[in-house]
Amino acid sequence: MNMIMLGAQGTGKGTVAGILSEKLGIPQVSTGDIFRKHIKEETELGVEANKYIKNGQLVPDDITVPMVANRLEEDDAKNGVILDGFPRTIAQAEKLDEMLAKKGNKIDMVINLTTPRDEIIERILTRRVCSNQACKATYNLVMHPPKVEGICDKCGAELVQREDDTSEEAIRRRLAIYDEQTSPLVEYYEKKGVLRTEEVSTRINRLGDDVANDIVKEIKG
């Protein structure tokens, strides 16, 4: 099964994707993780990608698309993936359709998460992630804090704040870019009949765990 997580930053896409990955047995493929790996290793693509990420801008397709295409060719993706952070534009969605069609595959489900904007900003500013790339657990200092401050519950590695999560101004720029370039994907996938929209918010007491578990139950019947 091939799935896509849609939604602005801070809506909980990573949380939902992580649960679905574990319970459905298909890998979570995050462009953010791919970028951070290349940035950490200081590859040529990583250096270029970091210039855009630091300014709260989207990484251009000529960097992003080849990286995702290579990831989809890896062995663990042969039975499907959960894409988190890709596609971000209609052009990328069309490229993805082409990639999958060549292998006789398609997108089976698109999960669109929505959250009030003020709540998103607070979530991102208080978000912490596991520094162990093999773990990738995500926490929130207010809503979902670790048992031990600064330490991942799952693997014991240090929790860190992503560089692009520290500035409210940068966060607002990212959200504006999402509104302009990525939200049209909702209509794109709605027309294909594969879109599922879920609100994730403390005001209705429905968080990412609830959404993910409901989807797993439906898929497994």
The structural domain count of the chain equals: 1
Residue 107's nearest CA partner among 142, 81, 75, 139 is 81
Judge whether 43 lies within some domain.
Answer: yes
- 154 tagged catalytic: no
Residue 147 CB contacts under 8 Å (≥ 6 apart), including other chains: 153
Judge whether 120 lies within some domain.
Answer: no
Q: Where are the beta strands (DSSP E) in 53-183?
A: 82-84, 109-114, 127-130, 138-140, 159-160
Residue that wins the pLDDT comparison between 14 and 126 = 126
- 172 tagged catalytic: no
> Residue 59 pLDDT more than 80?
yes
Residue 127's nearest CA partner among 153, 146, 155 is 146
Instruction: Give the residue-averaged pLDDT of 116-130.
Output: 90
Q: Give pTM, 2 decimals.
A: 0.77
Strands 28-30 and 109-114: unpaired
Judge whether 164 lies within some domain.
Answer: no
Please say whether the dihedral angle defined by the alpha carbons of residues 197, 181, 205 and 137, taken in this order, is positive or negative. positive
- 203 tagged catalytic: no
Host domain of residue 34: 3-115+181-220
For the stretch 85-97, pLDDT in tens is 899 889 999 999 9
Q: What is the CATH number of the domain that holds 15?
A: 3.40.50.300
Instruction: Give the residue-averaged pLDDT of 151-167.
Output: 90
For the stretch 12-53, pLDDT in tens is 888 899 889 999 999 999 888 888 878 888 888 889 989 888
Q: List the catalytic residue out of 36, 88, 95, 123.
A: 88
State the residue for tokens 């790339």. 133
